[in-house]
Structure 1
Amino acid sequence: MSEPELHRFGYQQELRRTMTVRDLVVYGMVFMVPIAPFSIFGSVFDGSSGMVPLTYVIGWVAMIFTAISYREMSRAFPIAGSVYSYAGRGIAQPAGFLAGWAILLDYLLVPTLLYVIGAQAMANVVPGVPQWAWIVLFVLLNTLINLRGIETTATANKVFLYAQLLVLAAFVVLAVIGISRGSGGAHWSGTPFFNSAEFSPSLVFGALSIAVLSFLGFDAISTMSEEVTGGSRVIGRATLLALTLVAVLFVVQTYLAALLVPGKTQFESDDAANNAFYDISNLIGGRTFEIVVALAVAIGTAIANSLVAQAATSRLLFSMARDGQLPRFLRHVHPVRRVPEKAILLVAGISLVLGLFLVGQIALLSSLVNFGALFSFLLLHVSVVSHYLFRRRDRNFGLHLVVPLIGFVIIGYVLVNADIHAKVGGLVWLAIGVLILVFFKVTGRSANLTPAEGEPAPGEKQSS
C-alpha cells in the first residue's frame, strides 16, 4: 500500500517499506520455528499415541481457516496492528482494543518464554554459565538487531532460518539413512500417519488442541503491513505460504522421528518424552549431532524466534499508541532507522525483567501465552463476518461466513479446553482491559478508527 492509500485511514507513512513476500515468509517461518518439533516431539507423541505427523496435518487444516481470515482482513485494512486494527475497524473500536489487549498478553510473554527456554537449553550445553546471564545476552543481542532497522532484522531472519533448515536437512538425511539401515529396529511404515489400533475421535480432538498451538506465530506477519512493498495482497499471500511451508517441514521431520521409535505409542516417563528428539538424534548421528540439535533449539528459540517476536510486539504497541490506546511515547519512530524505537526498548525491558524473575518457569509461561492469541483469533473471525457481510453487504458466504465460522468453532474448542492457569490468567488480563476501556470511555479518550474511503466507520450502518 502506498503512502496516499495509508492516508485514507488517517495515518502517515512513518515506517520504512522494504519487506518483500520472501522477507515476510521468512519472518513468519522464523516466528513459528521450523524445528519447533525438536523440543516438543515427545509430548506431542504421547498426546497423539505416536501419530505426530497426523497431528500436524490436523493443525495445518485447522489453522488454514484462521489464516484465510487474516488474509481477508489484511486486504481490507493493510495497516500495522494486526488483529487490533482488523477488529477495531471490522467490528467496533472497543472490540479492537480488546483484541489488541488480548494478543498483547501473548506477544509480551512469548519473548520471555523463548529466552527462558533458550537459557535452559544453553545451561545443558555450558553448565558453568548461569541461566540469567544467557537471558541478558539474548535480550541485548535481539534489541540491538531490531534497533538497527527492519532491513537488519530481515537479514538476520534469513541467516537464522537458513541455519535451522541446514540442521533440519542434516536430520532428514541421517534419519533416512538410519531407517533404511534399520537403526533401533526402525522400518518404513505409514503407522505414524494412521494407527487403526490407537485412532479415535477423542484422540483427534486432543491432537487438535496440541497442534493448533504449535502453529501460533503466523499471525505476526500482519504486524508488518506498513513495512511491505507490493500492495495489500502481500500479507495474506505470505501468511498462507509460511503456514503451509512450516506444516510440510513439521510433518516430514516428525514422520521420520516417529519411525525411529518403532513399536511405541507412549514414552516411559516425562524425562524420556522431553529428551526424545535428542535421543533420536544421538541414535542416528551420535553425541556430536545431539549437541548440534540442542544448540539449534537454543538459537532458534532464544535468538531467532525472540527477534521476530520483539519486532511484532513493538509494531502492535506502536499501532495502539498511535490511536491513543496506549501511552503516546510508544508511537515514537526513529527519524533515520524508521523503527518504533521506544516500543522496542519497552519490550526488551519487560522481557528482561520477567525473564530474570521467571528463570526456569517454562510450564507457567507456556500456560499463559496461548490464551491471548486464541481469544484475539475469535474476534478476528467475527470481524470478517461483520465487515464483509454486514458493512459491505458482500455475498460471498463461503469465504466470509463459512470459513470464519469453522475457524471460530475450532479456536473456541481449543480455548475452552485450554489449561486452567491459561484461562484464569487470561480472563484476569481481559478484565484489566475492560477496566481500561471503561476509563477511556469516562475520560473521553476512545479512539475513532478511520475506515477506508467510502466505507462507514466501525459501528456505523452502511446506507442502502
Structure 2
Amino acid sequence: MSNSLQNSVESFGYKQELKRSISTVDLIIYGLIFMVPIAPWAIFGTVYNESKGMVPLVYTIGLIAMIFTALSYSQMSRRVPLAGSVFSYVGAGIHPNLGFFAGWLMLLDYLLVPTLLYVFAAESMIGIFPGTERWLWALVFVAINTVVNLAGVNSIKLMNRVFLVMELFFVVTFVIIAVKTLNGGTLPAAEWSTTPIWNSAEVTAPLIAAALSIAVLSFLGFDGIATMAEESTGGHRSAGRAMITSLIVVAILFIGQTWLASMLAGDTGAFPDDKAGNAFFDIVAAASSTGWAKAFLVCNVLAVGIANAMAAQAATSRLLFSMSRDGKLPAFLKQINTKQVPRNAILVVSGLSAILVIFFVGQIGLISSMVNFGALSGFLLLHLSVIWAYVIRDGSRNWLSHVVLPAIGFLIIGYVLVNSDVLAKLGGLSWLLVGIVVFIIYRKKGTGISAHESEEPARKAGR
C-alpha cells in the first residue's frame, strides 16, 4: 500500500482497517453491477406508458440530471476519501452533526435497497416456479449474498465480473435479435425510427417533468462506489472517476436497449396494466422465441437478486461501519473479520433484510418510495457540502465546479424530492425523527465524537 493512500485515511484520524485491493476498473464494474445494465427490462412497459413511448428520452434526461450529482460526489470523494460516503462528506465538509443526519437519511436508502431487490427477485421467481413461496426465494438470495460478502473483497470482485459478463452477453444478444428483426421485417410494426428518442408531437413540459422523476431514480446506485473508497488502490481521485464513468456507460446501455425495444414495440400506444410488467420479455419472445424470453427473465432475476443485492449489501455494510467507527452507531458494527471486511455490519444488513422481506413481500411501491426519499435527501446535503467546504471554508473561486454545478444538482434533486410520493415523505420524516432520538442518545453518552470533530485533519486532507 502506498504511503499516500495510507495517509489519506490516517489524516482523518483513522487506522487503515479495510483491505485496499479494489482498482479503479473494479470500482467501475461495481458501479455497473449496482445500477444493473439490464435494469430497464423489468420496468420498460411502465416507463413506456408514462413517457408516451419515449423511453430512451427518459434515460437521456436521467443522465443529464444525475451527472451533476456524480460531479459533486467526485469533488467530495477526492477531498474526503473515506468509506462513509455522504456521511463522511457532509461531516467533514460542513459539520459532524449534519453528517450524522446525512448518513442516517442515506441509511434509509441503503438498508431498504437490499430488501427491495430481494422482493423484486422473489416476485420473478414465482413466475419461473409457480406455486413456490416468495419469502423462501428471498431468504435464499439473502443467504447467498451474505456468504459472498463475508468471504471478502476478492470474492465480491470475482462475482461482479462474472455477473457483468452475463448481463453484457444478454445485452449483446438482445441487440442482435433486435437488429435482425428490424432489418428482416419479421415483425410488421417494427421499423427503424428516431421517434422513441424525440417525438415533438408528444413532448411537453409536464411529460419531461414526469420523466425526470422516473429517470433520476433509475440511476440510483452509482453513489455506492463512494462507500468503497477506503478499499481503492487507485488514489483519492479513483472513486470520483469510477462514478462518472460507470454512470455514462450504464446510461448508454439503457438508452440503446430501450431505443431498440421501443422500435420493436412499434405503434403500441400503451401496454395494458396487466402486461406492462413483462412487456420487454414479451417483445423478446415476439422477436425471437419463448425460450429466449425465459432466458432473459432468468438473467434478470440473477442480476437483481444476487449481483445487484450483493453490491447493495456491501455498500450498506460500509456505511454502517463508518458511522459506527465515528461513534454514531453501536460499536460492534465496526468489527472487521480476517478477510478485512465489516463482518458484523454485513450480518446486521443480512438479518434486517431477512426480517423485512417477510413483511414487505408484495409492497414494492412502498419500499421504493422510502428508498427514494433517503437517497434524494442525502444527495441534497451532498451538493451543499461541496459549496460549503470549497467556497465558504476554503475560499475557492472555482465558481463552475464549486457553485454552479452543485447548485444545479441541488435544484434538480430538490424538484424530484418535492414532487415525490406522499407516503415517501411521511416515511422519510418518520425515519428522520428516529434519527433525532438516536443522535440525542449518543450525544448524551458522549460517544458521538469523531475524527470529523477536528476540522483541521479534514482541511489538510482536502487540500
Alignment pair present for 1:13 and 2:16: yes
Q: Secondary structure at the match of 2:420?
A: coil
Question: Aligned-pair distance for 1:440?
Answer: 3.2
- CA offset digits 1:402-435 (Å, max 9, x no partner): 0000000000000011111111101110111122
Mapped partners of 1:17, 1:456: distance in 2: 22
Mapped partners of 1:289, 1:407: distance in 2: 40
Going from structure 1 to structure 2, the CA distance change for 1:93 and 1:454 (only over 3 Å counts) comes to: closer
- CA offset digits 1:117-151 (Å, max 9, x no partner): 10110111111432222111111110000001001
Question: Aligned-pair distance for 1:47?
Answer: 1.2
| Further displaced range: 432-441 or 143-152 | 432-441
- CA offset digits 1:360-381 (Å, max 9, x no partner): 2222211211110000000000
Q: Secondary structure at the match of 1:49?
A: coil
Q: Secondary structure at the match of 1:58?
A: helix
Question: Aligned-pair distance for 1:454?
Answer: 7.5
Which residue pairs with 2:248 in the alignment?
Answer: 244
Q: Secondary structure at the match of 1:2?
A: helix
Q: Give the unaligned 5+ runs of structure 2.
A: none
Going from structure 1 to structure 2, the CA distance change for 1:203 and 1:223 (only over 3 Å counts) comes to: same
- Of 238, 241, 261, the match for 2:265: 261
Q: Secondary structure at the match of 2:12?
A: coil
Q: What is the number of residues matched between the two proteins? A: 457
Going from structure 1 to structure 2, the CA distance change for 1:412 and 1:265 (only over 3 Å counts) comes to: farther
- Of 99, 104, 126, the match for 1:123: 126
Going from structure 1 to structure 2, the CA distance change for 1:456 and 1:170 (only over 3 Å counts) comes to: closer
Mapped partners of 2:461, 2:197: distance in 1: 48
AA in 1 matched with 2:149: N
- Of 177, 188, 191, the match for 2:192: 188
Alignment pair present for 1:105 and 2:108: yes
Which residue pairs with 2:174 in the alignment?
Answer: 171
Mapped partners of 1:441, 1:355: distance in 2: 32
Cα RMSD for the two superposed structures: 1.6
Which residue pairs with 2:283 in the alignment?
Answer: 280
Contact 2:11 2:458 in 1 (8 A): no
- Of 413, 416, 423, the match for 1:414: 416
Which residue pairs with 1:154 in the alignment?
Answer: 157
Mapped partners of 2:137, 2:444: distance in 1: 45
Q: What's the % identity of the aligned pairs?
A: 50
Mapped partners of 1:401, 1:324: distance in 2: 32
Mapped partners of 1:253, 1:156: distance in 2: 24
Which residue pairs with 1:330 in the alignment?
Answer: 333
Which residue pairs with 2:379 in the alignment?
Answer: 377
AA in 1 matched with 2:72: S
Runs of 4+ aligned residues of structure 1 deviating over 4 Å after TM superposition are: none
- Of 305, 316, 320, the match for 2:319: 316
Mapped partners of 1:125, 1:17: distance in 2: 40
Which residue pairs with 2:38 in the alignment?
Answer: 35
Q: Secondary structure at the match of 1:185?
A: coil
Contact 1:184 1:260 in 2 (8 A): no
Mapped partners of 2:325, 2:437: distance in 1: 20
AA in 2 matched with 1:112: T
Mapped partners of 1:454, 1:306: distance in 2: 32
Question: Aligned-pair distance for 1:452?
Answer: 5.8
TM-score, with length taken from structure 2? 0.96
Contact 2:13 2:457 in 1 (8 A): no
Mapped partners of 1:251, 1:397: distance in 2: 32
Question: Aligned-pair distance for 1:456?
Answer: 8.0
Question: Aligned-pair distance for 1:439?
Answer: 2.9
Alignment pair present for 1:216 and 2:216: no
Contact 2:92 2:458 in 1 (8 A): no
AA in 1 matched with 2:97: P
- Of 342, 365, 371, the match for 2:344: 342
Going from structure 1 to structure 2, the CA distance change for 1:216 and 1:228 (only over 3 Å counts) comes to: same
AA in 1 matched with 2:313: Q
Which residue pairs with 1:386 in the alignment?
Answer: 388
Mapped partners of 1:443, 1:128: distance in 2: 51
- CA offset digits 1:133-190 (Å, max 9, x no partner): 2111111110000001001101101101110111111111101111112214111111
TM-score, with length taken from structure 1? 0.96
- Of 194, 205, 208, the match for 2:209: 205
Mapped partners of 1:228, 1:83: distance in 2: 17
- CA offset digits 1:13-35 (Å, max 9, x no partner): 10100001110001000000100
Question: Aligned-pair distance for 1:273?
Answer: 1.4
Contact 1:8 1:452 in 2 (8 A): no
Mapped partners of 1:88, 1:265: distance in 2: 49
Question: Aligned-pair distance for 1:240?
Answer: 0.2
Alignment pair present for 1:132 and 2:131: no
Question: Aligned-pair distance for 1:261?
Answer: 1.5
Contact 2:145 2:306 in 1 (8 A): yes
